[in-house]
Amino acid sequence: MDWQADWGLRFRMFLTMFMLFALYIVFAGVIAAYMGSFLVFAVLFAGMSLVQYYYSDTLTLKSMGARTISADEYPQLHASVERLSQQADLPKPKVAVVDSDVPNAFATGRNQKNAAVCVTTGLLTTLDREELDGVIAHELAHVKNRDMMVMTIASFLSTIAFMIVRWGAFFGGGHGRGRQGGGGGIVVAILVSLVVWIISYLLIRALSRYREYAADRGAASITGNPSALASALMKISGRMDQVPKNDMREEAEMNAFFIIPIKSGVVGQLFSTHPPTEKRIEQLRQLEREIASP
């Protein structure tokens, strides 16, 4: 099913990405001017990041304790992923399961041909078939929108900026003395990196929230049943509040992967990678009203 494009959402995503691009151009100029020797490190880091990105599906699944499963083990899950992949016009991704009571799901992979969709055992026992289809479709929408690639690219220079701030003492000790003002130049580079990291941190999380909205719309388009995903979000959100604090909370830094984030304190709530569940449900209800209207 197709709905009228949400141009407001598209504009917000475009504006956020444009602001990130402009910020990174300024950041790259400052680093080149004040920390020329750091460029070698940046190139090496870029190489390592490319390797990590290339194997992102395998690395992410391992870090989450996920296990790739066969169709013989979970026939209904495989059948749902295959059917929904066809409806989304996507190659069928790898299917994986995490043995956890926490109801959640995520997608990973560098492109549409090298992707994986993972669900927890808690999700399988919490949702009915239509709700599970909605969640799987949401993750397939992330794959179709190439969100893993977009967020990896968006986060790259932000990570560089954070590393400069974190290792400022190392660079200030003489390893990073540039051509413009020696140690003073290093201080400037560190301060600029701090500003870049703070601003990019906020922009990347805003971009992540917008892409969650887009994935919800994509899931509704794939299934033609927005209310099923809305029901799934309500169930998952309710169960998450009952989960023991030590169960998967150590994976809170992986929140960008999950369909609903694992709460990690006040800071995690203020700078969430996901929009409020209530607003996501309201958007889905609006799509349902569009279906019902003549």
pLDDT tens digits for range 159-206? 888 877 877 645 554 444 444 445 566 777 788 888 999 999 999 999
pLDDT tens digits for range 237-253? 887 766 655 555 455 45
| Span of 5-19, 77-91, 180-194 with lowest mean pLDDT | 180-194
Side-chain-side CA neighbours of 87 within 13 Å: the count stands at 23
Confidence of residue 42 (pLDDT cuts 50, 70, 90): low
Backbone angles phi, psi at 242, to 5 degrees: -100, -5
CA distance 135 to 41: 40
Token duo for residue 102: 């926490």
The predicted structure's pLDDT at residue 199: 93
Share of the chain above pLDDT 70, in %: 79
The predicted structure's pLDDT at residue 156: 80
pLDDT tens digits for range 104-115? 999 998 889 999
Q: Per-residue pLDDT for 215 more than 90?
A: yes
Q: Which residue is associated with the tokens 């299934």?
A: 223
Q: For residue 29, how many other CB atoms are within 10 A of its CB?
A: 11
pLDDT tens digits for range 114-158? 999 999 999 999 999 999 999 999 999 999 999 988 888 888 888
Give yes or no: 139 in active site. Answer: yes
Reduced 3-state DSSP string for the chain: CCCCCCHHHHHHHHHHHHHHHHHHHHHHHHHHHHCCCHHHHHHHHHHHHHHHHHCHHHHHHHHCCCEECCCCCCHHHHHHHHHHHHHCCCCCCEEEEECCCCCCEEEEEEECCEEEEEEEHHHHHHCCHHHHHHHHHHHHHHHHCCHHHHHHHHHHHHHHHHHHHHCHHHHHHHHCCECCCEHHHHHHHHHHHHHHHHHHHHHHHHHHHHHHHHHHHHHHHHHCCHHHHHHHHHHHHHHHCCCCCCCCHHHHHHHHHECCCCCCHHHHHHCCCCCCHHHHHHHHHHHHHHHHCC
Q: Which of 131, 139, 212, 251 is catalytic?
A: 139
Report the predicted TM-score, pTM, of the whole model to 2 decimal places: 0.84
Q: Which residue is associated with the tokens 């490319």?
A: 50
pLDDT tens digits for range 265-278? 444 555 788 899 99
